[in-house]
Chains A and B, each alone.
Chain A
Amino acid sequence: KAGVTQTPRYLIKTRGQQVTLSCSPISGHRSVSWYQQTPGQGLQFLFEYFSETQRNKGNFPGRFSGRQFSNSRSEMNVSTLELGDSALYLCASSPGTGYEQYFGPGTRLTVT
C-alpha cells in the first residue's frame, strides 16, 4: 500500500498570506489528523477528520482550518500567516479510533 502523501513538501510564504496544504491518506483509512511540529514544542495536535466531519480539535486559533473530502483526502488552510506559523506540518491517517496513526513526510512551511 502507498503511504501517506503530503503536498507540497516545502513552501515559503509571506506574512499575511494564506496557505493550503494537502494530504492523501493510506487507501482505506478514513481518519486524517494534522499536527504542527516546532522546535521545543514537539508535535501538537491541530484537528482530526473522519468521514468528512471534524471530530477533534486542538488549541489553535481559528486561522487554522481544515476539511476532508469524500475520498478521505484532506486539506489544511492557514489564513493571515504569522512568522510563528513556520513549522513542519504533519498529516497522519488511520483506519479509525484505537488504531495507530501513520504519518506522511510533512510540509515544511516557512513564513517570512
Chain B
Amino acid sequence: DQQVKQNSPSLSVQEGRISILNCDYTNSMFDYFLWYKKYPAEGPTFLISISSIKDKNEDGRFTVFLNKSAKHLSLHIVPSQPGDSAVYFCAASDLTDKLIFGTGTRLQVFP
C-alpha cells in the first residue's frame, strides 16, 4: 500500500522554464511534507518542507504547494537549471519521525 505516490517517474524540462513535480498521498494523518533531491551515489538532500497548516512555502527558486482537500502537493522550480537534474522524492510524516517516501521523479533539465 503506497501511501505517498509520485506517478511521474521522469520529467524533462528546458533550462529557464518551470519544473512542476507532483505528489499524492492517501493518509489524512500526515501533517508534515518534505521534498528531497538525490544525486547518484549521494544521500538525499533536504530541499523544502511544508506544514499542513499552510498551503504554500517558498524558498528561493523552490515553492511547495499543498492542497489538503485533494491530498496533493507539488514542487515548483523556477527557473529550472541544469544543476537541478536529479531524482526528487516527496516524503510525508505524521506526528512521529517516520518519513514515508514516494518512489521519486527523475528530473532532467536540458539547455
Contact = CB atoms under 8 A, between A and B. Distances in A.
Co-complex (A, B): yes
Contacts, number: 62
A43 interface: yes
A43 B37 CA distance: 13
**Interface secondary structure of A, over-half rule:** strand
Contact of A100 (B41, B46, B100, B103): B46
Nearest to A9: B41
A103 B42 CA distance: 9
A101 B46 contact: yes
Given A4-B43, A43-B89, A33 B101 contact: no
Nearest to A96: B97
Nearest to A43: B101
Contacts of B102: 42
Interface residues of A, number: 28
B43 A55 contact: no
A50 B102 CA distance: 24
B96 interface: yes
